[in-house]
Amino acid sequence: MNYPCERLAAQATIDTPMGPMLIAATERGLAGLWFEDQRHHPDVIDARVDAGQRWIALTARQLSEYFEGRRERFEIPLDAAGTEFQQAVWHALSALPFAATTSYGAIAQTIGKPAAVRAVGAAVGRNPIGIIVPCHRVLGRDGSLTGYAGGLDRKTALLAHEARHSPTALERAA
């Protein structure tokens, strides 16, 4: 897959409990976060490797906190390349509360395009900022697990992780 690399300032690969992830950033914010083997992973990014670049370092730290169960919301400026429609879908995804789920149809309603359920599905699948733009929280209309570019096993694990660390789950354990 080609990614608009002319905008990118830096990249780095980090280890996570769910496998290596590639982080790409512009000078303005986070542009991409992909699992190593996921669909739509860019083949090559022509940007310097720099784990210390400010948005890459911030992303790595906040992801670590997320996987440790200490972070529910990410505070990273986003600068992903996408169409106006994709941006609207990704913005709607970003508004989902921690551990909450939704459907493609609900997102289509949210962005004011109720007939665009399939197009919403395509935009969700092309989300270049996994976990932080939480496309793993989208389920089928009947609540079933549906496709996830990072793999259904990861989607299941991410949903279980969030369920374990949600305020509701923590209140039940107390």
User: Distance (Å, rounded) from C-alpha 140 to C-alpha 127?
Assistant: 17
What CATH number has the domain bearing residue 38?
3.30.160
Task: Give residue for tokens 């789920």.
Answer: 101
With contact defined as beta carbons under 8 Å apart, do 97 and 137 qualify? no
Domain check: are 95 and 62 in the same one? no
Q: What is the pLDDT of residue 4?
A: 54
Q: Cβ(17)–Cβ(31) under 8 Å?
A: no
Residue 113 lies in a domain: yes
Residue 158 lies inside a defined structural domain of this protein = yes
Structural domains in the chain (count):
2
Q: What is the mean pLDDT of each run of 10 residues along the chain (174 residues)?
A: 67 96 96 90 86 98 97 96 96 96 96 96 95 95 83 93 79 45
Q: Is 135 tagged catalytic? A: yes
Question: Does residue 160 share a domain with residue 104?
Answer: yes
In a domain, 78, yes or no: no
Structure tokens at 26: 């512009």
Q: What is the pTM of this model?
A: 0.90
- Tell me, yes or no, whether 122 and 157 share the same domain: yes
Q: Is residue 76 part of a domain?
A: no
Task: Please check whether residues 94 and 45 belong to one and the same domain.
Answer: no
Residue 121 lies in a domain: yes
The separation between the first and the last C-alpha atoms of the chain, rounded to the nearest angstrom, is 47
Q: Which pLDDT does position 46 carry in this prediction? A: 86
Flag whether 129 is in a domain: yes
User: Are residue 61 and residue 94 in the same domain, yes or no?
Assistant: no
Indicate whether 127 and 59 sit together in one domain. no
Decide if 122 is inside a domain. Answer: yes
Give yes or no: residues 63 and 100 share one domain. no
CATH number for the domain harbouring residue 99:
1.10.10.10
Beta-sheet strands, E only, within 10-155: 10-14, 21-25, 30-35, 48-49, 102-103, 138-139
Residue 8 in tokens: 């990118």
Catalytic residue, chosen from 12, 25, 56, 135, is 135
pLDDT score of 142 = 83
Shared domain for 92 and 49, answered yes or no, is no
Q: Are 169 and 133 in contact (CB under 8 A)?
A: no
For residue 34, give its domain range.
8-68
pLDDT at 129: 97
Q: Same structural domain for residues 28 and 98? A: no
